[in-house]
Structure formats: structure tokens, C-alpha cells
Structure 1
Amino acid sequence: MRSFPSAAGRRTTAPVALLLTLLTALVCAVAAYAGPLAHADEKDDLEKQKDQVQSQIEQAQHDAEEASKAVDAAEKALAQAESDLVTAQGRLGTAQDAAAAATAQLTQAEALDAQMQASLVAAQAALTQAKAELAAGQDALTAQQAKVKQTVVDIYQQGSPQLMAITGYLSAQTPADLTRKLEYADNVIHDQGTLFAQLHEAEVALSAKKDAVKAAEVTAAGQADEAAQHLVTVQELKADADAAAAAAYAAQEQVTVTVAAREKAQRKAERARKADLAELEALKKQEERIKQRIIAAAAADTSTGYVGADDGFLLPPVTGPVTSPFGYRIHPIYGYWGLHDGTDFGVSCGEGMRAAADGKVIERYYSAVYGNRLYVSVGKVNGHALTVVYNHATSYTVDVGDSVKRGQVVGYVGSTGWSTGCHLHFTVLQDGTAVDPMGYL
């Protein structure tokens, strides 16, 4: 039978992968040690050690199956939840970094946008001022033109200043009168020159104001274009920042959901483990009752039975490789120091299982742990009551009370109970206690 008694100092939660790594390292160390200079007996000893370690590796691989499918599924779900949580946390960190970077870029862009808007306002104000000055210049030029026009009209009405000077010279009665008339003519001529000079200055000033307006228009238009283009950049950065913030929020939500999923998986795994342990406890009680029946039947049997060599007494129940041997080990799921109470043979489902010896079927039932089970008593062997047990079968061809002959097909290999693949778990009970089947095969 398979039992998992608690053992102080023996409990462990190390995964099978770690055990496989350690055992593989030991295999490599053994192989490396067996150098060409070693003696033949040392080589043989090292080969035996290597084979033993390889057997332990296969045993460890098989141990992973020694739990119900519910536990197996729960363990896988828990491992996936743990992996998902790590992934989600990594994505959250990345998303938060992206959101922070996007927000920083947006802040810088908004600050630059504010500067550009201020420059645009200043350029527009300068343009308004230039236009106002141009309008004032235009008004001044118009007034100056009107004044010159009026002067020209007056000149034509009064005569040429030069002619007036000559007329005054001819009509002067005294030198003083001549001087006065010449001075008047000079003043008129000077005033005309001043008016024309002022008109020219107004035209030059107006032209400069027009140039200033054009320059202000170009500056304002450039500032407006730059501001408009930068506004697009700001809007894009804001969209990026919003998207990054949304991604960070979604990542945070995913972490929250994944944490909840992990906790749920943990609870489910614990429930499955408890259910498995309850099944194991019920199985041990049932096996104990069968053991007591075997012991009682042996005590009542006064026959001598078989006396002779144990090796080869039993016929191998199937033709297939040993995938996990009999022996004690740390249970990979529950951490107990327990007994793998039989030898596992790797055989395809549906293969026939043979009776290992002549005997009688004493028990047949379904176990959540071992699936379909069959107990066959093969009588006394060297004074001990010997019983063989077939486990995980798809079905059996015999029932309780039936007699079987050595080599007879008693059932078919399956994967019922705590099994993840087709195989035969073959147990040998000596006086109701599990022993290594290989000692009888």
C-alpha cells in the first residue's frame, strides 16, 4: 500500500524540478568521477550508483503523479496565477513609467505652448500697433498733401514767388521797400520748400510704417503657425498621456484581478490537498481492514505452501519498463516522507495484465487514489502469506472469489485514480505489508 506518514524533519516543499536538478547533477558527478584510470570494480560500482540515481530521477518524475487530478490542476492553476502575477506586476511598472514619462513630456509641451501663446499675443499686439501707426501716418500724409495742394493753388492764384520778387524789385520806391519785398518773396519760397520737405518726410515715414506692418504681419503669421503646429503636438502628447494613464490603470486592475485569482487558486489547491489527504486516510483504513483479513486467513491456513527461491516466483504482470521503483521518498506535493508501495510499469492503456501466480481474487473495488484495484492471494511462500495487487486498471476480467491461473489475463492497463498516464502500479503484500515486488519477479 502507499502511505504518507508525517515525519519530523522530513517535511519539505521543494519542487520536483529542484530534486531532478540535484539528482542530475549527482549523475554528472558520478559520470565524471568514473574516469579511464579507475579500476574495473570501481567502474562497476560507479555504474551501479549511476543507475541508482537514474532510477531515483525516474522515481521523482513519477512522484509528480501521486496526487489527484484536482490537485494537479489546482497546482498548475496556482503556478499559472503566480506567473501571471509576476507578468502583470512587470507590465504595471512599465505602464507607470510610460505614464510618468508621457505626463512629463506633456508638462514641458504645455509650458512651451504657454510661451508660444504669449509670443503670439505680443506679435499680434505689435501688428495692431504698427497698423495704428500706419493709419496715423496715412492721415498725416493726407493732411500734408492737402496743405501742399492748397499752397500750390495759392501760388497759381498769386503768381510765381520769383516773378513776385522781380515785380517787387521793379516797383520798389526805396531800398527799404525793396528789401522788405525780397524778404517776403524769400519767405514764400522757403515756406514752399518746407511744405514739400515735410510732404517727402511724411511719405518716407509712411513707407517705413508700411514695411513695419508687413514685418509685423509676417511675425504674427509665423507665431500663429508655430503655435498651431505645437498645439497639435500638445494634443497628441495629451492623448498619449491619457492612453498611458489608462494603460497604467488597466495594469493596476490586472494586478488586482491576478492577486485575487492567485488567492482563489491557493484556496482551491488547499481544498484539493485536504480532499486528497482525506481520501488517503480513508484508503489506509480500508487497506488496514484488508491486511487484517489477510493475516487472519494466513493464521487459519495450516498448509505449507511454496518453499524455495523467492526470485522468479512471480510472473511479471506486464511487459514494459519500470518507470518508478518501490521505496520511500519525499512526496512532491504534500511534503511527507512516504512509501511508494509498489513498482510502476510503463505500459499502454488496454494492454492485458497477467496473473503473477495461481491464486484467488479476494478483493476488488474502486479507489479515488488507486482507481480500479484487484487483490489476488497467491498462498503461502516460504511461510508468508503473499498477495498481489493491480492498480489503475481500465477494467478487470475477474471478480471476488474467482480462481486465476498463472499468466491468465485478469484485467487491462488504464489510468484511473491518481494517475496522469497509462501504467500499472503493481504491489506485493507479504503478510499484508508492502514489500519490493522485484524480490519476487
Structure 2
Amino acid sequence: MRRRTRPSRPSQPTDRRTTGVAARPGARACRSGALLAIVGLVATIVLGAVAAPANADAIDDRRKAAERQKAANEKERSDAEEVLEGLEGELGAVSDRLLEVRAQLPAARLAVQEAEAEYAKATREAAIVAARLQDAREQADDLSATIEADSSESSRLREAIGQMAREAYRGGGDVSGVSMVLDADSSEDFIRRADLMSQALRTRAQVLDDLQATESGNRNSAERLQAVQTRIGELKDEADAKVEQSKAAKKAAEDAKATLDALLAEEQEKQAALLAKKGEITAQLARIDRESKRIESDLRKAIEEQKKRDAERAKDPDPGDPPPSSSGTLFVNPTQTRPIHVTSEYGMRYHPVLHYWRLHAGIDLRDYCGNDVYAARSGTVAWTQYRNGYGNQVMITHGSVNGRSLATSYNHLSSFVVRPGAYVKAGQLIARAGNTGMSGGCHLHFEVYFNGATTNPRPYLPL
């Protein structure tokens, strides 16, 4: 019997976490496609690792840009609120909601980008794990085939050994050198018998060696198959988790997109509603501006009366008023908030939808509804009344300061504590802060008048 030569099996690349298994030649074509897919996925991972910092930087840049845009939109919203301050009905609310939506859009767009990036990442990872799982399954198939083939070979070798044993038994079982010499008819017969005996012994030894090698290889293959099957279970669990992660990321991306679409639709709706009411808004703002002119006219009369009172009294400066200083401060803090806090400055405001410019003629100071409001300087209460666009208003005249008549107004109040004609000292309680006049939120709108015209209060406040 000739020795059976077992063909060598070329090694195949494997997942580092799986046991390496030699592939059967017939399986090479099947495995090559999977291996190419794995190589491609590994390249994707490597390139992804190289590109990861760049992608992270891009996300960070987009996040910073979204934050800057949100801050700009919030400033735009604040300015637009001042433009439409005092509007009656829901016009101001529609405008405020429009600009609130615009302020939310940068974050919503960023959320969509981040969710889509997370979905793409989860999908890539799921594909990588799926390829590893497929590779492990193919390794298990190869090992099972190898074990089956080796088992058949082992059975064949055992049968051959049994056949040799049976033939030896039928021949008397004695293949010793003595019997070979005694039974030989001639020297040629002896040589022939010796050659046959030597060949039989070599064949038997070779078959035994083959059986031992085959069974040892089979045990090794069985151990590797068990390891691969364990790895298959792990990879299957990981693949299932990645699929679920991908589904969740896809759902998050869809939800983020739906949120963005809803905001964009609402933005268009509110903008259309606001533009449709532009004529009504313009008319209301014109009425409020006329109210401002009436206030200035009424104030000029009050200033004349104050001048007469001051002349009659020959009043010295009230010791409670802030003393003249290089800083120019003329007032004490009129709010209960300590330290004084400005929420909106004096100046022109622009509405981004209506394209309407309007003067915010005072400075908004933080004060909560019901908080105390104090006289910023000693003077006489000119009036306490509701004024269109200003809500409840207290006007105080302070006489002449540096050759100019001075007055202050306190607006959007919830209630009055003083009456017209009363003389108040700096820091005296005069009213409670509120939100009257459709102001959009509790605060104190504080105005300063020199010679009956508004001016920026900031330089004269203790800020």
C-alpha cells in the first residue's frame, strides 16, 4: 500500500478574535468574496480613523456656527420685540413666535446633521460586524467539512488495519525471520519472502502513522470548531446589537428631520400671517408713536409747572439725590434688583420681517412682577396713568439740572403707590413692577427726558 499524501492547505486571513482555519480548495472562491468585503471594510475603518478628527472638527465647526447663529437670532428676536412693543392683540405674539422659531432652526439643522452622521456610523459598524460573522460561519463550514473528511479517512485507515490483521491471522500470524528461512524453497524465494515481509511491515507502520496523524488533526479541528462556534455566538449578539443601534439612529435622524420640517413649516406660516397683518401693525405702531408725541407735549406742560414750583420754593438740591460726579451719574437704582441689570439698551430697532425701524426710547431694567420700583431722583409726580403702548406709567419731573429740564418715566407697572402732584425723594417707593401694555414680560422700561425729548439713560445710571 502506498502512503497517502495529504495536500497542504494555504492559510487564510482571519479575524484576530476568531481561530484561524485552513480553507478547503473548493471553498476558496466562496471565501474570496467575503475576504475582499472584509478587506474593503477594514480599509473603511482605517480611512475612517484617519478622517475621524476631520469629521469631528467639521461637526464642532457646525456646532459653533449654529451657536453663533442662534445668538444672532436671539438678538434679532429681542430687537424685534422692542419694535413691536405695545401692539394689541396677537400680532406681537405671532412675531415673537416667528423669531423664536428662527432661533431654534440652527440647533434643529445641527441635530439633523449629527443624527444622520450617527446613523451612517452605526450602519458602517453593523456592516463590519456582519462581515465578520459571515467569515466566522464560513470558517465553521470549512472546519466541519475537514472534520467529516478526516473522520472518513480515519474509518478507512482503521478498516485497512483490520484487514491486515485478518490476513495475518489467516496466514498463521507468523511473519518472523525463522519461518521465512525454513519455508523458503530457494535463495530467490528467500529474498522474495524477505522483501514482502519488509514491505508489509512498512505498510502497516505507515497506516498506523496516518491514522494517528488523522485523528490528531481531527481533534485539533474539533477544538478550533468549538472556538469558532463560540465566536459566532458572540458576533451574532454583537451584530444584533449593531442592527438595533442602527435602527435607533435612523429613527433619531427621522425624528430630527421631522422636527426641522415642522419648524420650517411654522416659520413660513407665521411669516405669512405677519406680512398679511403688516398694514394693521403699521397703523398700531403709528398710534403708539402718536402717544409718544402726546407724552412729550404733556411733559412740556408739566415741566413748565415744575419750573414755577421750583421758582416759588427756591428749592435747594435734595440731599438724597446723587451728588455731581465725573461719571455723570444723576440717578439711584430705580429697581429692586441689586445690582442694577440692563436687559435691553436704548436705540433704534429693526424688524427682520416687516423691515420696520423704530426707536426703543428707553432702557429695560430687570425687575420681576410685584417688585418695588423707586424714584430715580427727587422730584414731583406729574402723572400716574395708563398710556397706550406703555401700560401703567409714572412720570416724575426733576427740575433743572445743568441748565436743562429733567424728567423720568417708569413704564409697564402693575400698580401705583404715589399720586400726581406728590413730591418724592430719590429711592422712595413709587410703584410695583409689572407687564402692562403688552410688554412681553415683567420688567421696568425706564426713560429719561432732557427738555422734553428722550435720551439714552445709561450714562446717568449707576452702572
Tell me the equivalent position of 1:252: 257
Task: Assess, with a 3 A threshold, how the Cα gap between structure 1 residues 351 and 227 changes in structure 2: closer, same or farther.
Answer: closer
Q: Does 1:209 align with 2:219?
A: no
Give the Cα separation in 2 of the matches to 1:238 and 1:254. 24
After TM superposition, list the pairs within 5 Å mapping 1:57-96 onto structure 2.
66-68=85-87, 77-96=97-116
Tell me the equivalent position of 1:42: none
Structure (1 or 2) with the larger CA radius of gyration: 1
Which deviates the most, 306-315 or 206-215?
Answer: 306-315
Deviation at 1:222, TM superposition (A): 4.3
Give the Cα separation in 1 of the matches to 2:106 and 2:158. 77
Which deviates the most, 128-137 or 145-154?
Answer: 145-154
Give the Cα separation in 2 of the matches to 1:311 and 1:185. 158
Asked whether the 8 Å contact 2:140–2:229 carries over to 1, the reply is yes
Tell me the equivalent position of 1:237: 242
Q: Does 1:105 align with 2:125?
A: yes
Asked whether the 8 Å contact 2:379–2:423 carries over to 1, the reply is yes
Give the Cα separation in 1 of the matches to 2:182 and 2:359. 145
Q: Does 1:436 align with 2:450?
A: no
**CA RMSD between the two structures:** 5.8
Tell me the equivalent position of 2:461: none
Of 338, 348, 359, the match for 1:330: 348
Tell me the equivalent position of 1:35: none
Asked whether the 8 Å contact 1:331–1:338 carries over to 2, the reply is yes
Asked whether the 8 Å contact 1:141–1:206 carries over to 2, the reply is no
Asked whether the 8 Å contact 2:350–2:358 carries over to 1, the reply is no
Which deviates the most, 64-73 or 79-88?
Answer: 64-73
Q: Does 1:138 align with 2:164?
A: no
Deviation at 1:143, TM superposition (A): 0.7
Asked whether the 8 Å contact 2:98–2:267 carries over to 1, the reply is yes
Deviation at 1:242, TM superposition (A): 2.4
Task: Assess, with a 3 A threshold, how the Cα gap between structure 1 residues 72 and 15 changes in structure 2: closer, same or farther.
Answer: farther
Of 127, 146, 151, the match for 2:147: 127
Q: Does 1:421 align with 2:431?
A: no
Deviation at 1:113, TM superposition (A): 3.0
After TM superposition, list the pairs within 5 Å mapping 1:128-167 onto structure 2.
128-152=148-172, 160=179, 162-164=181-183
Unaligned regions of 5+ residues in structure 1, if any? 1-13, 21-59, 166-179, 299-305, 377-387, 399-403, 429-433
Asked whether the 8 Å contact 1:68–1:276 carries over to 2, the reply is yes
Deviation at 1:252, TM superposition (A): 1.6
2:172 match: secondary structure:
helix
Give the Cα separation in 2 of the matches to 1:88 and 1:336. 28
Query: What one-letter code is carried by the residue in structure 2 that aligns with 1:99?
Result: Y
Task: Assess, with a 3 A threshold, how the Cα gap between structure 1 residues 343 and 152 changes in structure 2: closer, same or farther.
Answer: closer
Give the Cα separation in 2 of the matches to 1:285 and 1:66. 14
Asked whether the 8 Å contact 1:355–1:405 carries over to 2, the reply is yes
Query: What one-letter code is carried by the residue in structure 2 that aligns with 1:330?
Result: M
Task: Assess, with a 3 A threshold, how the Cα gap between structure 1 residues 260 and 193 changes in structure 2: closer, same or farther.
Answer: same
Asked whether the 8 Å contact 1:68–1:369 carries over to 2, the reply is yes
Asked whether the 8 Å contact 1:369–1:418 carries over to 2, the reply is yes
Q: What whole-Å deviation, never above 9, does each CA across 1:42-88 have from its counterpart, x for those lacking one?
A: xxxxxxxxxxxxxxxxxx99967944597776665444433322112
Give the Cα separation in 2 of the matches to 1:343 and 1:188. 126
Deviation at 1:241, TM superposition (A): 2.2
Which deviates the most, 240-249 or 256-265?
Answer: 256-265
Task: Assess, with a 3 A threshold, how the Cα gap between structure 1 residues 130 and 231 changes in structure 2: closer, same or farther.
Answer: same
Q: What whole-Å deviation, never above 9, does each CA across 1:350-375 have from its counterpart, x for those lacking one?
A: 65897568xxx9xx964441324699
Task: Assess, with a 3 A threshold, how the Cα gap between structure 1 residues 137 and 105 changes in structure 2: closer, same or farther.
Answer: same
Q: What whole-Å deviation, never above 9, does each CA across 1:249-295 have from its counterpart, x for those lacking one?
A: 22222322333454566568769987765544556788999999x9x
1:152 match: secondary structure:
coil
Query: What one-letter code is carried by the residue in structure 1 that aligns with 2:262?
Result: V
Task: Assess, with a 3 A threshold, how the Cα gap between structure 1 residues 199 and 250 changes in structure 2: closer, same or farther.
Answer: same
Task: Assess, with a 3 A threshold, how the Cα gap between structure 1 residues 354 and 413 changes in structure 2: closer, same or farther.
Answer: farther
Asked whether the 8 Å contact 1:64–1:332 carries over to 2, the reply is yes
Tell me the equivalent position of 2:327: none
Task: Assess, with a 3 A threshold, how the Cα gap between structure 1 residues 366 and 74 changes in structure 2: closer, same or farther.
Answer: same
Which deviates the most, 63-72 or 127-136?
Answer: 63-72
Give the Cα separation in 1 of the matches to 2:256 and 2:306. 72
Give the Cα separation in 2 of the matches to 1:233 and 1:345. 58
Task: Assess, with a 3 A threshold, how the Cα gap between structure 1 residues 148 and 193 changes in structure 2: closer, same or farther.
Answer: farther
Asked whether the 8 Å contact 1:137–1:202 carries over to 2, the reply is yes
Query: What one-letter code is carried by the residue in structure 2 that aligns with 1:142?
Result: G
1:330 match: secondary structure:
strand
Which deviates the most, 65-74 or 115-124?
Answer: 65-74
Q: What whole-Å deviation, never above 9, does each CA across 1:126-181 have from its counterpart, x for those lacking one?
A: 1111110110111111111111122125889xx9454456xxxxxxxxxxxxxx57
Of 220, 223, 226, the match for 2:225: 220
Asked whether the 8 Å contact 2:409–2:446 carries over to 1, the reply is no
Asked whether the 8 Å contact 1:413–1:422 carries over to 2, the reply is no
Give the Cα separation in 1 of the matches to 2:151 and 2:387. 101
Task: Assess, with a 3 A threshold, how the Cα gap between structure 1 residues 275 and 187 changes in structure 2: closer, same or farther.
Answer: same
Query: What one-letter code is carried by the residue in structure 2 that aligns with 1:436?
Result: A
Task: Assess, with a 3 A threshold, how the Cα gap between structure 1 residues 120 and 97 changes in structure 2: closer, same or farther.
Answer: same
Asked whether the 8 Å contact 2:154–2:215 carries over to 1, the reply is yes
Deviation at 1:201, TM superposition (A): 3.1
1:321 match: secondary structure:
coil
Q: What whole-Å deviation, never above 9, does each CA across 1:382-430 have from its counterpart, x for those lacking one?
A: xxxxxx99965624877xxxxx867499x954543255534676889xx
2:171 match: secondary structure:
helix
Q: What whole-Å deviation, never above 9, does each CA across 1:300-340 have from its counterpart, x for those lacking one?
A: xxxxxx89988967999x9773999xxx9634557656677
Task: Assess, with a 3 A threshold, how the Cα gap between structure 1 residues 426 and 311 changes in structure 2: closer, same or farther.
Answer: farther
Deviation at 1:95, TM superposition (A): 1.6
Give the Cα separation in 2 of the matches to 1:340 and 1:182. 134
Greater relative contact order (Cα 8 A, min sep 6): structure 1 or 2? 1
TM-score normalized with structure 1 length:
0.52
Give the Cα separation in 2 of the matches to 1:238 and 1:200. 56
TM-score normalized with structure 2 length:
0.50
